Amino acid sequence: MQHVTTGPVREAFILFSLSGVFFSAVCSGAVTVSVTPKVEVLKGETAKLPCIYTVSPPTPSNTVVEWYIEEGGTRKRVAFSQGGVGKSDDGTLLTGRVTIGEDFSLTISSVEPADELDFFCQVTAGPNGVGDATTMLKVFFAPEKPELKKPSSQAISVGEETSSEIGTCVTMNGHPQPRIIWFKDDLPLPEVKDRKEKTNMISSVVKEASGLSTVKSTLYMQLKKADKDSVFQCTVEYSMPGDQIKEKKSDPITLNLNCEWTDQTLT
């Protein structure tokens, strides 16, 4: 966490729980700011970032609550509340989608992957000083079911010195970036990137304009006689809120062997 605080008394950091929800608190002088350290939300949904503060002794209504994001190493304000009136700032990536409530919580609608940032709730309380605390917004979106395609060329031979292309697995539109795992006969294959190895995978990632990721992986193997009946499949593994790891499986494929060399090589 990052904290930018000024005040007449030494800063202290506190972590506590209210109704099972953990909050972090930063004390500066007589200003204490409490937020939820991490808020998780699915793409397209609405995120609410709580902010609670206390000032001792209480000050008049000139206390200002401001929400900031960090862009390019500098803070940029997105919304503020003063005297009971909340407003959002123009010219930010959240303009038109963000509001600050009477309870000083920040609400972001139609959340996008680009909104996955550190958010700072800063409270300025006149002579009592300034306090702030940081919330990390995490955005999730389940990728599509992976599609497994055979190579366009079906001339797969046994005993060649170079590895043959077995298939290409593609999963689209996931966030955070998903991971592809290959299976042969229901057993996972170790991920190998070295093209010199008999079994290896070549992967690529495309970041779409939406901020979602499309991942592609191509499997190469040097085939053996026993592989003529093998079944191949790929699985996409992805993260969801609450530290969940989920997966989706492709349809399986089998190798279409060339009968001419099958008769010569496998008999």
pLDDT of 9 reads 37
Tell which wins on pLDDT, 31 or 244.
Answer: 244
Domain boundaries, the chain: 12-140, 147-265
Asked if residue 40 has pLDDT above 80, the reply is yes
Cα separation, 15 vs 140, in Å, equals 25
Cα separation, 48 vs 120, in Å, equals 13
Cα separation, 93 vs 121, in Å, equals 17
pTM confidence score: 0.81
Calculate mean pLDDT across residues 142-163: 81
- Find the angle CA(213)-CA(215)-CA(220) to the nearest 5 degrees: 170
Instruction: Look up the CATH number of domain 147-265.
Output: 2.60.40.10
DSSP string, 32-51: EEEE-SEEEEETTS-EEE-E
Q: What is the mean pLDDT of the chain?
A: 85
How far, in Å, are 11, 35, 93, 154 from residue 132 at the CA level?
A: 10, 9, 22, 62
Contact assessment for residue 83 and residue 59, using Cβ atoms and an 8 Å cutoff: no
Asked if residue 218 has pLDDT above 90, the reply is yes
pLDDT band at 155 (very low <50, low <70, confident <90, very high): low
Considering Cα of 172, then 244, then 70, then 21, what sign does the dihedral take?
positive
Cα separation, 234 vs 219, in Å, equals 10
Cα separation, 46 vs 183, in Å, equals 37
pLDDT of 59 reads 66
Query: Which three-class secondary structure string do you get for 72-101?
Result: CCEEEEEEEEECCEEEECCCCCCCCCEEEC
- Residue among 76, 70, 107, 101 at smallest CA distance from 89: 76
Give the count of alpha carbons within 13 A of 13, CB side only. Answer: 9
Asked if residue 251 has pLDDT above 90, the reply is yes
| 12-140: CATH topology | Immunoglobulin-like (2.60.40)
Residues 44-64 have pLDDT tens digits of: 999 999 999 998 877 666 889
Query: What sections of 143-197 are H helices per DSSP?
Result: none
- By three-state DSSP, how is residue 127 classified? helix
**Weakest mean pLDDT among 58-67, 75-84, 134-143, 228-237:** 58-67
Cα separation, 33 vs 1, in Å, equals 14
Element (H, E) at 131: strand 130-140
